[in-house]
Structure 1
Amino acid sequence: MLDNADLGKLIVRLTLGGLLLFHGIAKLLNGIGFIEGQLASHGLPTILAYGVYIGEVIAPLMVILGYQTRIGALIIVFNMIVAIALVHGHQLLTLSSNGGWALELQGFFLFTAVALIFLGPGRYKLKN
């Protein structure tokens, strides 16, 4: 018999990890020049841009697989805080043209990752 709480945690993990992984794949295919530019414009070393591969490829895979889920989710939280600070800070208190919060996607990634830190992976995961 399926445990609804564990199934719910799996759905949350697959949704967060899967949707964020698309962003990581796009960066693998198209490069991280935009992020390097954002870092440079804030006076930060551009080498830090490579951290996006950890935050948008490695961590989502950890979350999807349920391997060290809480650590993967913590990395995603850090990644999203940096993304909001570097790129989206000016939108923090604004609405989009269709009336939603301008940072809905970033907020989804951030707060869902926070929830996973507290929830853990559930039963359906890789053994670790």
Structure 2
Amino acid sequence: MNDNTRADLGKLVLRLALGLLVLLHGIAKLKGGLAGIVGMVEAAGLPGFIGYGVLVGEVLAPLLVLIGAYARVGGVLIALNMLVAIALAHVGQLTQLNEQGGWALELQGMFLAGAIAVALLGPGSYGVNTK
């Protein structure tokens, strides 16, 4: 297997893991409703409709990443979604460790880092568009 094939397979694994795991969060929000998110946004002094942006960051963007269509855009959208989520819901945990000694925001951190990596690397050859 040549270096390009390995790199493209690595990008595919990254895209599939990030896209699927973030999409599951989006599906849960579709099933459970967005009232909690909208309330959190309003409590921060922002208009409630901004809370519906979570559907872009956790449903549309992961689908783009999964199929490799505009995966870079999807990666940027997921990264922005994670930054907003950290700012609204997790800012108090930025310096905390969890019960196992890991960073309290390791999941959010991995989603953010993975999204930035997809935005920088692109989809690879195993996507709808390869740029």
Q: Normalising TM by the smaller chain, what interval?
A: over 0.9
What is the alpha-carbon distance in structure 1 between the residues aligned to residue 44 and residue 14 of structure 2?
33
Aligned to 1:53: 55
2:105 maps to a residue whose letter is L
1:90 maps to a residue whose letter is G
TM-score computed with the length of structure 1 as normaliser: 0.96
Percentage of matched positions with identical amino acids? 53
TM-superposed CA distance for 1:114, in Å, is: 0.6
Aligned to 1:28: 30
TM-superposed CA distance for 1:127, in Å, is: 3.3
Superposed, 1:57-72 pairs within 5 Å as: 57-72=59-74
What is the alpha-carbon distance in structure 1 between the residues aligned to residue 71 and residue 42 of structure 2?
31
2:27 maps to a residue whose letter is I
TM-score computed with the length of structure 2 as normaliser: 0.94
Aligned to 1:85: 87
Gaps of 5+ in 1: none
1:79-127 deviation line (CA, Å, top 9, x unaligned): 0000000000000011011111000110011011111111110000013
Task: Describe the SS at the equivalent of 2:125.
Answer: coil
The count of corresponding residues between Structure 1 and Structure 2 is 128
Gaps of 5+ in 2: none
1:120 maps to a residue whose letter is G
Instruction: Kindly report the root-mean-square deviation, in angstroms, between the aligned alpha carbons of the 2 structures.
Output: 1.2
Task: Describe the SS at the equivalent of 2:99.
Answer: coil
1:126 maps to a residue whose letter is V
1:106 maps to a residue whose letter is Q
2:114 maps to a residue whose letter is T
What is the alpha-carbon distance in structure 2 between the residues aligned to residue 127 and residue 66 of structure 1?
6
